[in-house]
Structure 1
Amino acid sequence: MRSDGDPPSLPPPSLPQAERNRTMPQSARIVLGLLTAWLLSSLSMPARAQTLTYEPLDGPGLGKHIVFIAAEESYRSELSMPLMARILSRQGFRCTVLFAIDPANGRIDPRVRNNIPGLETLDSADLLVAFLRWRELPDEQMKHIVDYAESGRPIIGLRNATHPFRYADRTDSPYARFDSASSDPPGGWGRAVLGETWVSHYGVNLVESTRCEVAPDQAGHPILRGVPERFWLPDDVYGISESLEGDAQPLLLGQPLTDWTPDAPANAEKPPLPIAWTKTYTGSAGRAARIFTCTMGHGDAFKVEPFRRLLANACYWCLELEEQIDPLSDLSIIGQYQPGPVGMVGFREGMTPSDPLFANPADENSDTRAVIDDTQPGWRALTEADFAPVNSAADTWRWHDGQLHCTGQPVSVLRTAKTYRNFELVVEWMHERTAGNSGVFVWVTPESIRRLTEAGKPGLPQGIEVQVLDHGYTELMRSQGQATDWFGTNGDVFPVGVRMTPFPPLSPDGSRSFPREHRAKGHGEWNHYYVRAIDGEVRLWVNGGEVSGGTGCDPAEGYLCLESEGSPIRFRRLRIRELPGPESTER
């Protein structure tokens, strides 16, 4: 008996094989041979996967299934939705991604507007995340989306999901009324369910980027937990009608800027508009569903950690898990993510849902957690009460939702309230912009702190600096015609006005310990530093791997400082464990 994957048995030939070969023309034998080979290989070939699923790890989302739909041509949702699915699977959610698939070859193709295989998974899903535009699905597929919405289960709509359907050919479909140009309901499915339909590009697309600002009186909303009150996105603001549908409550406002850079001024002729809101939708089942809509969604926007946090928090809120939202949870980019240009020019032809591009790699921080367990006895958090001002402005440093925000202005430091000698230190940091510059100082001399405090002017102290530098700094220096061989962007350690013998490899002048491995992540990503300082020796681990350090440090006791040097940066999970040695002293 054959298995289902085996080719079927062929009947015995009516003539001996040699006789058949003599009586059949050579050309026919060639054609028949090719046809037979194709038939046998086709019958034995397994069907290509048409959906992508990430199984959950342990976490607060266990037991919940999120289904993402990525079906639009413009903003690389076929890459960003798998990214968010990978991230959320690490928090316990089972995540399935559905794509627009060309039925002729099984490949992902957003130009195919009438086929999204796997929509039946919505029948048992707990949350739908919709990122689709102008689909005209067959009724048997569309039914699953409509039935889901009418059931009262939650929905998240992203970017052009406000205009998800366009029935240009099948106007007789019972679902044609959900066309974004519909008058019944007005604005179609997008406005009725998500709160708005397509209106316009309010900010000029690819020209006017966006400063995101928390809406008045909404800072305490669970979706905004851990999200800064103001952050930049490489994305443009969508226009909206005079009012959003139903009980929509804006959470974020988007201020168009004059160009596509973080420091661009606001376009004074365009006041901010809502770019993210919550609402409810009550379908035929009579249950009010939680809805979250965000009109941001450019591929590069997903490189910005606050945006990923906003969307992850929205998933928790939609699923009524808001008590489980951790403002410090790890939302680092997992796996490959390089979205490229908007539109079909940036689309990668030939992808399938089983493409290695979508692989879910081993946890990038697993080795960090194995080497440095800062939950063991003796570790404690460093909080606002553990730090004292030196020479910064009043608004340079701000604590919010367990994170320390630094504007980068002026060049200055924030010091600990006491000095330390032997210790282990954990610091997580993230540059908000490319080319960011900062640092962590250890064993800072009290004399240099006194001078900076008394002068009240910009400046940095004397001590051992653990460099916190974004990769973009190299290109910045190069663009200014400056040398780039004297520093690294993966965790240099070097003395500033004190003595230290650096570990190799060394900088060209021998003053810095250069990293042995390049492990640091770029701006918009959280990095994990573990510093061990014992008896005059400093060692640095970056994202789980030891990279640099030095010995013979003198002095080998002093303050710890965080550095402000020109660009915004955030710190979190500051933790310390003092080790045996001379008592640290209060200063």
Structure 2
Amino acid sequence: MKQFVLSLLSIALVSTSLRAADHVVYEPAGEAKGKHIVLLSGDEEYRSEEALPMLGKLLSQRHGFKCTVLFSLGADGTIDPTAGGSLSHPEALDSADAIVMLLRFRHWDEATSRRFEAAVNRGVPIIGLRTSTHAFNGYPKGSPFESWNFGNKGGWGRKFLGETWVSHWGKHKVEATKGIVEEANASHPILRGVDEIFGNSDVYEAAPPEDALILVRGQILQGMTADTPPASYSKKTSGTKVEQDVNKPMMPVAWTRMVKNDSGTENKVFCTTMGAATDLAEEGTRRMVVNSVFWGLGLEVPAKADVTPVGDYQPTMYGFKGFKTGLKPDDFILAK
């Protein structure tokens, strides 16, 4: 009988392990906030598969949130940012209290897309990073989600985040971004305790709608480090073809919105066109994103949130080539 019970226990443990192998859950440490943050990784360029586990560990261990990180997986179960149709364990979205996303050109199956849609329609806050402005593409003609494609009047990104993919306004991999706080909105809770905002990704061209509250603008720098001076040259905007100095005015790189979704409820939205894994190595940029989670959930933003990474965080440089191969969600757990 004892052997039978042990066998059942072994089967249960193996079963649990297999179910958890395609995603990672970080249980809250310290005083639990009672909120579940679901972080969606899936982009080919900016290393969301490295950035979002770091944020998940930080939000759970420093601030008491339960965090679940989902990934794009290849057929062999390893993390594959190029697998645009994959999102592991989408069931987590059913209990999401907030969504943090760094996605690019995803085209999930109908069941997964429905789960994401349902979470949005519940009115959960949405924190969209970098390429999430063009999170979806590749849904076929006639799909219920065809309108999410970025080329369809800006798609999901334009509708919810307030912008889609337009252009690299700064020179890609040549000119970094210094965040300049919008003076009129400097007291916004998302900017509480935020000092220097910097990222070695470039400024995107962006024109959020009038209902957006601009928090930060992006000063294009001449080089890839925070100590380089601002750039000064002219180029034409994509929409109007008007020529302007690239830093006069500076493009918005972080803003908030209140968006009514298809069910009639509202989503609090924070969008930043910064947010590459390397950008989030910077304390001020990381604090802005952490603060946005508190703000989105209607919680008091700390005076100076602890944003110290849990463990070592040395993100891989962005690019369409060079992402780490062979990684599995298991590689990001806190303890084996």
Q: TM-score, normalised by structure 1?
A: 0.51
Matched residue, 1:219: 186
Which of 249, 253, 258 matches 2:217? 253
The code of the aligned residue for 1:156 comes to: I
Which of 264, 268, 278 matches 2:228? 264
Which of 258, 266, 273 matches 2:251? 273
1:47 CA drift (Å): 5.5
1:341 correspondence with 2:307: no
Structure with the larger helix share: 2
Matched residue, 2:288: 310
1:333 CA drift (Å): 1.7
Q: How does 1:563-574 map to 2 (within 5 A)?
A: none
Matched residue, 2:242: none
Matched residue, 2:239: none
Q: How does 1:135-174 map to 2 (within 5 A)?
A: 135-167=106-138, 170-174=140-144
The code of the aligned residue for 2:216 comes to: L
1:257-306 deviation per Cα after TM superposition (whole angstroms, max 9, x unaligned)? 11112222211231211000000111133222110001002222111100
1:94 correspondence with 2:66: yes
1:176 CA drift (Å): 1.0
1:121 correspondence with 2:92: yes
Distance 1:117 1:73 in 2: 16
- C-alpha change, 1:302 and 1:338, in structure 2 (3 Å) is same
Q: How does 1:292-331 map to 2 (within 5 A)?
A: 292-321=270-299, 323=300, 325-331=301-307
The code of the aligned residue for 2:315 comes to: P
1:330-374 deviation per Cα after TM superposition (whole angstroms, max 9, x unaligned)? 21121232222212433111111111xx2436xxxxxxxxxxxxx
Distance 1:118 1:72 in 2: 17
Q: How does 1:464-475 map to 2 (within 5 A)?
A: none
Q: Are 2:170 and 2:176, in contact at CA under 8 Å, matched by a contact in 1?
A: yes
Q: Sequence identity, in percent?
A: 38
Which of 222, 239, 245 matches 2:205? 239
The code of the aligned residue for 1:232 comes to: F
1:246 CA drift (Å): 5.4
Q: Are 2:39 and 2:69, in contact at CA under 8 Å, matched by a contact in 1?
A: yes
1:168-221 deviation per Cα after TM superposition (whole angstroms, max 9, x unaligned)? 6x2221111110011xxx211001011100001111111011111101211110
Structure with the larger strand share: 1
1:229-252 deviation per Cα after TM superposition (whole angstroms, max 9, x unaligned)? x543222101114xx135111100
Q: How does 1:475-494 map to 2 (within 5 A)?
A: none
1:89 CA drift (Å): 0.3
Unaligned stretches of 5+ in structure 2? 234-245
Matched residue, 1:287: 265
Distance 1:46 1:176 in 2: 33
Whose relative contact order is higher, 1 or 2, with alpha carbons under 8 Å and at least 6 apart?
A: 2
Q: Give the secondary-structure state (helix, strand or coil) at the position aligned to 1:97.
A: strand
Matched residue, 1:80: 51
Q: Are 1:339 and 1:346, in contact at CA under 8 Å, matched by a contact in 2?
A: no
Q: How does 1:359-374 map to 2 (within 5 A)?
A: 359-360=333-334
1:3 CA drift (Å): 4.1
The code of the aligned residue for 1:50 comes to: D
1:473-524 deviation per Cα after TM superposition (whole angstroms, max 9, x unaligned)? xxxxxxxxxxxxxxxxxxxxxxxxxxxxxxxxxxxxxxxxxxxxxxxxxxxx
Q: Give the secondary-structure state (helix, strand or coil) at the position aligned to 1:255.
A: strand
Q: Give the secondary-structure state (helix, strand or coil) at the position aligned to 2:39.
A: strand
- C-alpha change, 1:47 and 1:89, in structure 2 (3 Å) is closer
- C-alpha change, 1:105 and 1:48, in structure 2 (3 Å) is farther
Q: Say which is worse superposed, 291-300 or 332-341, in terms of deviation.
A: 332-341
Q: Are 1:191 and 1:245, in contact at CA under 8 Å, matched by a contact in 2?
A: no
Q: How does 1:528-547 map to 2 (within 5 A)?
A: none
The code of the aligned residue for 1:213 comes to: I
The code of the aligned residue for 2:181 comes to: V
Distance 2:156 2:109 in 1: 16
Q: Are 2:72 and 2:87, in contact at CA under 8 Å, matched by a contact in 1?
A: yes
Q: Are 1:335 and 1:359, in contact at CA under 8 Å, matched by a contact in 2?
A: no
Query: When the two structures are aligned, how many residues end up with a matched partner?
Result: 313
1:130 CA drift (Å): 1.1
Distance 1:101 1:221 in 2: 37
Q: Are 2:255 and 2:271, in contact at CA under 8 Å, matched by a contact in 1?
A: yes
1:46 CA drift (Å): 4.5
Q: Give the secondary-structure state (helix, strand or coil) at the position aligned to 2:321.
A: helix
Which of 129, 139, 147 matches 1:177? 147
Q: Are 2:214 and 2:252, in contact at CA under 8 Å, matched by a contact in 1?
A: yes
Q: Are 2:127 and 2:271, in contact at CA under 8 Å, matched by a contact in 1?
A: yes
Q: Are 2:28 and 2:65, in contact at CA under 8 Å, matched by a contact in 1?
A: yes
Distance 1:232 1:277 in 2: 16
The code of the aligned residue for 2:206 comes to: I
